Amino acid sequence: MLLYTLVKRPYVFCFLLVFLFLSIRRRGTLKTLIFLITGYLIAWISEWCSINYGFPYGTYHYVYENLQGELLNHGVPVWDSLSYVFLCFAGLELVEFVRGPTGRNVGSILQNTLLSALFVTLLDVVIDPIAHLGRYWFLGEIYFYPHPGIYFDVPFSNFAGWFLVAFLINGICLFWDRGSQNPPSLGGVLLYFAILVFNTSIALFLKQWALVLADLFWIGLLIFFLVLLSRNNKKRLKSSMIL
């Protein structure tokens, strides 16, 4: 089942390997394993709760006949929960690349956790609508919402759930990594945008023009926000140097 899952979902494990390579280089093996295991467990619990109780993403259901032969954990695809790990890592690396390492300051830890959760949620805003169209590409029709939302059939509760879960995963990561001054690499930023480009490219391939335009809008808004963050951070550093 594991080998079948690897063969069927190679794009997931490619992103996961990139995460492992980048995270081990920056944070070391132990902290990377803590992030991987903690992230997976939080993601799995959140998905299990949603398919059974409708929290935190709202109610959705997997189409198990289309997941036959794949590795599941109590009804949740293992590869799906693993995806949270590299998505949260990419969001966190993007924030720290723009704002610098968090250090021990509680305020900075909270700010970076909130911003990274926002950036991870933005990834899902791009990912989930195209995943919902999985029957038209190699993902397959693996889940459905019994009560579709207004944003390309995705309910807003899904995005709220992603923000909450990303906040928990990245908050724990920053807690374990507090005090570290190892600078984030450009690789984490490239991973973030590679995920965006991958999903937007699928929307282009499917000729989902409205979704493509929406994705480009979110990417443009993200870049604008990153420029503002970078400028504010430079001003803050200059002020601290003067003081």
* Structural domain that includes position 195: 2-238
Q: What is the pLDDT of residues 77-107, one digit of tens each?
A: 999 999 999 999 999 999 999 987 776 777 8
Residue 109 within a domain? yes
Question: For the chain, how many structural domains are there in total?
Answer: 1
202 touches 131 (CB < 8 A):
no
Q: Find tokens 């009560």 and name the residue.
A: 147
Can you tell me the mean pLDDT for 121-128? 97
Residue 168 within a domain? yes
Residue 96 within a domain? yes
Instruction: Please give the sequence-ordered ranges of beta strands (E in DSSP) within 9-163, or none if there are none.
Output: 61-62, 72-73, 76-77, 143-144
Residue 243 within a domain? no
Q: What is the pLDDT of residues 44-63, one digit of tens each?
A: 999 999 999 999 999 999 99
Residue 189 within a domain? yes
54 touches 48 (CB < 8 A):
no
Task: Give me 134's structure tokens.
Answer: 């999985």
Q: Find tokens 């019994």 and name the residue.
A: 146
Report, in this order, helix, strand and coil percent for the chain, each rounded to 5. Answer: 75, 5, 20
**3-class SS at 76?**
strand
Distance, CA of 4 to CA of 71 (rounded, Å): 8
Distance, CA of 51 to CA of 109 (rounded, Å): 31
